[in-house]
Every structure is written in C-alpha cells, then in structure tokens.
C-alpha cells in the first residue's frame, strides 16, 4: 500500500507541474495587494486586454445585486461600480476559475466553486473585522480547496472514493485522502500555490487551512481561512445553521476571539457579498 501511495503521489505532483500558468495579469495583481502606490489606470488597462477575465468581471458588475440602471461595458466602468480593491479580487477569481476548464464530468464544479466563493467572502469579512488585508483573504479563501480540484480533475476515481467521506468530519476526509493518494488536498493545494508563485502568506493559508490552532497570540491569514472554511459550511442564507453554531463559535473564539453575536452580523454581510460574487461561475 505504501508503494502504491508513493506512485499516486508522484503522479499527482506531476500533474501539478503541468498545470497551465495563470495569466500574467493575475500574477501581477497578486503582487499588488500591498502596493499603496499602485497605478490603477495602468493595471486596469492590462486587465482590459484579457477578454475572458473581463467577461466574468462584467457579469458581476451587471448582476442584480448592484441594481444599476444601465449596463457596465468596460473594466474602467467596473472600477467605478465595484471599487478597485474589490475588482482586483474578482479578477484573480476569474483567472483561477478560467484556469480549470470543466473537463471532468464526474466532478461537481458548481458545488466546488460555490463553496470556494462562499469561503472567499467569509474570509474577506473576517479579515476586514480583524484588520488584515481583505483582498488577500478573498484570494486565499477562493483557493483554499484547490487541492480538491486537482484531485477531481486528474484523479477522478480517487476523488469519487474520497467524496464518500465528505459528509463526515474533515479529519476523516483528510485521512482518507492520505490513504488513497499519500497526501491530502491541503498539502496538494500548497504545491499548486508554489507552482503558481503565490505570495507565501496565501500559500501557507491554503496548505494549513485544516491545521489545528497553534499557541500564537497574533491573528494570521491561516486563522482567517481556517474559520472562513467552517463559516462557509455553516452559512445558510445569511444566518448560521443552528447545529453548527457551537462548534463555529468555539473555533472562532479560539482563533480570532470572535463572539457569536459578531459572527451573526458577519454572516449577513458575507451573504450579501456571496450573492454578488457567485455570478462569476455563471
């Protein structure tokens, strides 16, 4: 069994090395999150050259969520509607979604991206509440399960087997991934982040989004993504599911010192953001 795992692990890692590169504009945006002197006009011009990305972003800008009286027809108009900070997060999302064409019929693409976007917006509101960079959190949340995507696309039989455990605890799912492939989706996600040259903070948040809390008094992006993942699973139309309140509140308090009352208000905000961002997947 150990030898089989090693072979499977090598095959999966080979697939990661063959992943298409992200568009150069996505890489540039990832490096711009902490750039206070960014030339917005120049970056918007570069975004406008990628029509596939522009199409997804304009779909968001023209969604019923914003209730505009006229259609937004360009990236520059989208900047005025969405704000440039939100636009950067959506462009990154559009680039990543476009990098994985829906070729694996057995993989539930809609469910995957719906949860990823829900985690992204939960991470965004949690980061803002904790005075961390919300754009970076949105991107890390969007990609936290990218390892599952690699398994679903390149190892469909393994994905179907592991999917049986998705309704059980995350620990059991991770253990089953280890047994079948030799590594879990979080570790795989870290490898994808390396392939795409993501900033270290995003790579670590993806790789450790299931890792139990360490004794660290400083709130980190890892903490935010850990809670955002739980938050997204517990979110139900702007509220937290009754059955999941206790665990979420306990974990949120441990990682981010968040009270239940705050989580409820953040859930409402996350739902509003989700309704605008989910149109990215069509």
Tell me what pLDDT residue 96 has. 79
Superfamily of domain 2-281: Hypothetical protein af1432 (1.10.3210.10)
pLDDT over 70, % of the chain: 90
The whole model's pTM is what? 0.85
CB 44, CB 79: distance < 8 Å: yes
- Using the Cα atoms of residue 215, residue 270, residue 203 and residue 115 in order, give the sign of their dihedral: positive
pLDDT at 166 > cutoff 70: no
SS3 258: coil
Tell me what pLDDT residue 7 has. 46
Across 117-146, b (16+ Cβ under 10 Å) vs e yields: bbbbbbbbbbbebbebbbbbbbbbbbbbbb
Q: Between 170-181 and 156-163, two packed helices, what is the crossing angle to 10 degrees?
A: 150
Residue 212 backbone phi and psi in degrees, to 5: -65, 150
Per-residue pLDDT of 204-263, as tens digits, reads 999 999 987 765 667 899 999 999 999 999 999 999 999 999 989 999 999 999 998 899
CB 186, CB 208: distance < 8 Å: yes
**Residue ranges covered by each domain of the chain:** 2-281
**pLDDT tier for residue 106 given thresholds of 50, 70 and 90:** confident
SS3 174: helix
Per-residue pLDDT of 33-53, as tens digits, reads 777 777 888 888 888 888 888
Tell me what pLDDT residue 179 has. 86
Q: Mean pLDDT over residues 152-158, rounded?
A: 79
SS3 239: strand
Q: Mean pLDDT over residues 129-141, rounded?
A: 91
CB 117, CB 93: distance < 8 Å: yes
């Amino acid at each position: 069994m150990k030898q089989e795992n090693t072979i499977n692990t090598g095959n999966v890692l080979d697939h990661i090395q063959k992943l298409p590169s992200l568009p150069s504009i996505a890489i540039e945006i990832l490096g711009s999150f902490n750039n206070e002197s960014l030339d917005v006009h120049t970056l918007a011009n570069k975004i406008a050259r990628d029509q596939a990305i522009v199409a997804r972003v304009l779909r968001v800008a023209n969604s019923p969520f914003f209730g505009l009286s006229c259609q937004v027809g360009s990236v520059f108009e989208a900047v005025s509607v969405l704000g440039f900070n939100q636009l950067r997060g959506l462009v990154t999302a559009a680039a990543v979604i476009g990098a994985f064409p829906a070729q694996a019929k057995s993989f539930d693409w809609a469910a995957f991206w719906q949860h990823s976007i829900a985690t992204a917006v939960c991470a965004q509101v949690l980061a803002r509440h904790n005075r961390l960079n919300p754009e970076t959190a949105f991107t890390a949340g969007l990609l936290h399960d990218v390892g599952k995507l690699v398994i679903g696309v390149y190892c469909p039989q393994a994905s179907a087997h592991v999917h049986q455990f998705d309704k059980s605890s995350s620990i059991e799912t991770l253990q089953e991934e280890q047994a079948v492939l030799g590594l879990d989706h979080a570790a795989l996600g870290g490898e994808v982040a390396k392939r795409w040259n993501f900033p270290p903070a995003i790579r670590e948040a993806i790789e450790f989004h299931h890792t139990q809390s360490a004794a660290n008094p400083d709130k980190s992006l890892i903490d935010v993504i850990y809670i955002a993942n739980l938050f997204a699973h517990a979110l139900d139309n702007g509220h937290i599911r009754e059955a999941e309140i206790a665990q979420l509140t306990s974990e949120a308090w441990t990682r981010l010192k968040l009270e239940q009352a705050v989580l409820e208000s953040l859930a409402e905000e996350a739902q509003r953001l989700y309704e605008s961002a989910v149109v990215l997947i069509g």
